[in-house]
Structure 1
């Protein structure tokens, strides 16, 4: 990511920050608007296609529908690509804005939460608000802190998002101390790695790539797979499929028997078909997946692409154990930088122990 230069003077810096904020809001609004147009074109395409197959055959009518079908097809593709491109641009603009605001707070400051930064001073770490007006700070001596280099992988492959997890005694950041340790995460950046090295602070865990270094995106195959069907989600998706299948049938009947209502029937068919497809996709995805391989463990929660998922290499896993929380049994995957909780899957611990002997407690 290319850094945006900090102008000289406080007012000039604030003006640049406001400009970046306006640019981010405009780009996000453009993504939303273009995506809506793409969806409207797709619905129009489906309606035009259905109307071509129903109603009276007239040359003038069919010509108009063919023109509309082609226009809606081109529009759907064009605006979908535009929405994707704008989405990528919006992500980059947001990252650049966050980095700029960090450096406005100080070259040794990094975001660790909403409007909260960690400042790496000579002998202590300060946790404070990004606003200089607020005086409240948390001072944590470096001798009580451990820094972990973590790569968050959403798929069983080498590529992932690098971050630094700061392990501190919980009484510094929690009002009611439950666990002995608290973990604070910030994005892994070359600027942060340089500061840690300059302060003489040890970074534990996987070595992050150097600036400009490109590593091969090795994929790690699975040797065992366990599934956990989600009965409640599957039941809800079956209801969605059934109700919308009836809407499709109703739309077909309306289009056949009421010639004046062909457009309404086509719209009902399109909406019903869209939600039937969504229900089928939801039913298929309504299962948790645990895969094990020679390199590590991969978990994908039941749900769509936004569902929780992670891949952990065996070398970062300290132990795997069972734990009961509020009368529910979980599998806890313990790492030096935190714990991951999985549902109790039959045979999971046995499979994990077979893949990595001695890791199950």
Structure 2
């Protein structure tokens, strides 16, 4: 029942796949006017299930770091050489994010420069550097400094336009921001996002220990429950807020990630429920998880293409809207049709990734 040290943790692939499938679901409704509340972001303070998705992915980035580097470091690999590989991957992620934004107009002097992949690249680079050159004690100290330091920096005005992060972003980017005056992937809020991945690193190191699988899962649940409680307590003075990536949000989302991941680890890697009717949902998630960045980029570009193609000439309806109206809303109604179209895209991309999986094609960054 013990997960061998260094072996592949299938539940990590499944957890990553769950986050990517969820991203596709919430990013591709049939109509942005008709979204069920759990599938929309909180307007400002507070959270919905959708607000958990991105921090889960950054947490997973952190979990994977010890699995990527621990063995090579133990064998004497050069840290500088490993970090050059990290920088290369980070730059590719940032470049992909910028390319997704630029294509097809290439309005480089007007387009938004921040984005999801850009934040992933920056956070991965910072977290990996701290892991490669910092001890566990040093990493805990960095987490504390990031969360407490960020709180001290932004304390006071936490409004969308008035918070320090928004003011910095307007100074640097002008109006090239997601909401014009502020951006959920802004520069300053990347600092606490690094703490999210550092907490994931601690989880990855815990999973690589020689404890039994049952004890590993139990430890994740205990730590997760503690972080949730701490996050909710901090919420009373520094509200849980995805757009600010508040310190309470870091603790709360890392805690819920541990609770969910612990359950998936217990079922998939300890009890080995992967096939048959009980594990029917595992394989699709693993398939998504093993090509996560590829399917994120492909689905985003596909959605942009559907919005660009016009049905009925240049003045006609975007193809995405036409599909919603005629293939989904016509039989499922406003909200049901919007959700059905999003689910259809999740299923479509699962089919594409399944074909790649059958041919053992995994696009790695």
**Fold-level similarity (TM above 0.5):** no
> Which protein has the bigger helix share?
2
Larger radius of gyration: 1
Q: Which has the higher contact order (CA 8 A, sep 6+)?
A: 2
TM-score normalised according to structure 1 size: 0.26
Higher strand share: 1
TM superposition score normalised by structure 2: 0.26
